Structure 1
Amino acid sequence: MEPNKISGILSILLGLIFIIFPVFSTATLSIFIGLSLVFFGIALIISGFSAVNIIIGILAIIVGLVFVFNISALSFIFGIQFYIIGILLILGGIVGLLSDSGVSKIASVLIIILGIISFALGGFSIDQPLFAVILIGVALIIEGIGLYLE
């Protein structure tokens, strides 16, 4: 099986887990956000070996690892995590649109839209962390479908 199909299946499964089990503590959500950013970064790096893909992918992986391993320090700034995810989704979608790899342009546009929505709803995530889980789940499913169909 091709790496894109495996990445797609893993993204879809992780997205479904986010949507099916949305009510976790902030610490658990930070771990999932970190892991999704790590997977997102890996998918960006795998999708095309351009300098922009590699830079944004490495940035997403580093931020994801910080969220995974430094949970107690980041649990009180959940809203900022939401903004960071929005920015990374927007950048990843733009890279998908501009790259010549086989990334689906429709999936890239949808990821940009979800990034904008994520960024716009950042303030609400302090009161309702469920928004972050659902948007991340939907973004992972869309990205996974795009990767699988390549």
Structure 2
Amino acid sequence: MRALLQRVLEASVTVEGERISQIGPGLLVLVCAMEGDSEAEAEKLAARISKLRIFQDEAGKMNRALTDINGEALVVSQFTLAADTRRGNRPGFSAAAPPEVGRALYEHFADALAALGVPVQRGRFAADMKVALVNDGPITIWLDTEG
């Protein structure tokens, strides 16, 4: 699985003009299930994200995890993280898991993160979402369970 993390002061998702989710300080997690991924990768990724020390401590150093700051996560499915741009000008997405598998792994990932004590809000799988955020730092980190 792949994830792009953005440390945020706030973030929200709107679908068809209706705000369906929002969080305060924490992480916007854009996540993509890749071909061949399993629930084990989803759980591994959730555990890494919950423990990743990218929030400032009292000395201003990135030394605190999402759970340390009682932060929230907004988890948004993002199949375009599987983009292959090595050829031509049009990205290919064949490395992404098929939609039915992607949906199940997306849900499993969000559930696994919540089970680790992180309050989780979600986007809507396969919807045309408008994502708003106030990036904090900015801190943006790429994670991949492959390799």
TM-score over 0.5 for the alignment? no
Q: Which structure features the higher share of strand residues?
A: 2
Please say which structure displays the higher CA radius of gyration. Answer: 2
Q: Which structure features the higher share of helix residues?
A: 1
